Each structure stands twice: as structure tokens, then as C-alpha cells.
Amino acid sequence: MKYTRIAGTGSYLPAKVQTNADLEKIVDTTDQWIIERTGVHSRRIMEETETTTSMAKIAAERAIEASGIDKNKIGMIIVATVTPETLFPNTATKLQKLLGITATKCPAFDISAACSGFICALSVADQYIRSGAVEYALIVGVESLTKFVDWTDRSTCILFSDGAGAAVLQAADAPGVYSTHIHADGDYGELLCLSGSSYKYDEPRYIRMRGNEVFKVAVTKLGEAVDEALAHNNLDRAAIDWLVPHQANLRIIQAMAKRLKLPMERVILTLANQGNTSAASVPLALDIGVRDGRIKRGDTLLLEAFGAGFIWGSALIKY
């Protein structure tokens, strides 16, 4: 039986920074109010010349370079995004073309699972690698969320950001990915959604969220996902070296760290300077933790995310 290991990671953030002070000029809010309720100090805004695919390309190239493999060995590309440039062709095939991956036996498709997208992509790729169908896979989380932000809605415009994160996965003889666990409950769909009709492409569409209700469900479901991952692998909380969470709200992250009895120093935090990048947030945090030397080979990581749908999940990994 084959296992899945992370061979390399990469990420990309737009250069443009929007601070809380910038937001104070355009919406009824304050720096203190935003920080107290979310933990966000600033966020990244893509330029007009940037696209979902162009950001994904840079993150993917960095992950491939870090892995040290020939890009044409990649046998599967999965892009997690809810903000593609076009409904079809999908972002993954556009990325395949931009990367110049000539292997024709390389399926490329998107996953739409909002903030949990990268966890879902990891789960799918892991199954293909374990089965022996694929030896190398490229998974990317990327979002252009600020294109759908209502800059008059202070409950959402303070949160969302743009960026991309990626990982190259490869088959291995020893466990890397111990297990993944993904769940969904469509009863909560209206609590976090994109307004407007999918059949009327010329009307404005904005992110809408009932924050307090989302918060309550997120804390409960993420807590269950954390417990599930540990129980499935017969591991105690002390086995976790690093928590790599979705970066949505500092209070949610603190609640998960408390549940694991982890000090915040053992949590990879990017929220303050990146905001919520949805499907990109987990791989962005993972790449930053790897590249700054905090996450080392052999460390046990718990990845978790919760997002619109509602869809949530976790992955327990030996890096």
C-alpha cells in the first residue's frame, strides 16, 4: 500500500496591502473594532492585471520547485476555488496550460468547497495516490475574493483577501497523510453565501454572512473534526506539533488551540496580515510555516477548515 507525503509547498500573495486604517476611510468601522472581533490588521488585494489562474501559477511553480520533481511527472491537478475567472474551462486546465505540463494523462479539475477547498482537494488526491492511480499530484487553493466584496458592508469587507497556496504530493512507503475527514451540511447554506442569481451574470453579486451564527456552528463542527482526526489515528492531543488552521477568525482559532491544549505559539497564524483567503488560507499558512523553519520534517500537523456550504474537514499529517 502506498501513502501520501507532501513533497513541496508554495504560495503567493498580491503586493497590494489594505490596512484597517484604509477601511476606516470607506466604511463605518475602526481599526480597534476590526481587530477585537476578527484579529485582522490588513489584507491583500489583487491588481486588475492579476487573475485567479495567474496567482495559482506562481504558488504552483514555487511548490514544484520546492519538491524538486519534473513538472511533467505530475499526474493530477486539483484547484480549490470558488472564484474562477470562467465557469469553463476550469481553473485547473488553465493552470496546466500556463505551467506547460505536457503530460496528457493528467486530469485537471476544480473543487468548489469554499474555505474547506484545500482540505477536500487533499482528501481526493490522497485517495488517488493511495490507490496507486497517481504518483504525483498538484493541489492548489486560490481565491480572488475581493472581487465579490461589498465595500459598504462592514461585516464582510473587513475579512476577505486574495491569494494562493499550493502543495505537491507524492507517493511514499511510509505515512505522510495519516487521514483526512470531510463533512457537509447544506441546511446552513444561507448563513454564508454569494448573493444574486447564478443565471443573471450581469447583476452585482456580493458575499453575505450572518457572522454570529456562522461562528457558533464553526466552533462546534471544527471541534468535532479535531476530535475525529485524533480518535481515528489513536493519537493523544500531545502528539500534535502544529495546528495549521483556516484563517477566518482569531477567536475560532484560539478555541481550537484550547481544545488541543496547544499554546498559540504552536499555531501557524497568518490571519493578522492576510485576512481570510478562503481555500488559499490553509496552504498559505502551511507554506509560511515550512519556509520560515517552524514546521520541520517529522512534525505532526493538524490541518482544519470550515466554510460555506457548510463544508468542514481536517487532515492529520506527518510532514
Which of 20, 90, 246, 249 is catalytic? The answer is: 246
| Catalytic site includes residue 233 | no
Q: Report phi then psi at 271, rounded to 5.
A: -55, -45
The per-residue DSSP string of 34-67 comes to HHHHH---EEEE--TT--HHHHHHHHHHHHHHHH
| Catalytic site includes residue 276 | yes
Nearest to 242 by CA among 219, 223, 216, 268: 268
Q: Using CB atoms within 10 A of its CB, is residue 23 exposed (0-12), middle (13-18) or buried (19+)?
A: buried
- Residue 159: all three cell numbers together: 475579512
Distance of CA 264 to the CA centre of its chain: 20
For residues 168 and 68, what is the distance between their CA atoms, to the nearest angstrom?
10
Cα separations in angstroms, 107 against 64, 129, 138, 168, 178? 17, 13, 11, 15, 24
Which of 115, 157, 181, 249 is catalytic? The answer is: 115
Which of 20, 90, 249, 276 is catalytic? The answer is: 276
CA atoms within 13 A on the CB side of 239: 15
| Catalytic site includes residue 181 | no
Distance of CA 252 to the CA centre of its chain: 16
Place of cell 468542514: 312
Catalytic annotation, residues: 115, 246, 276
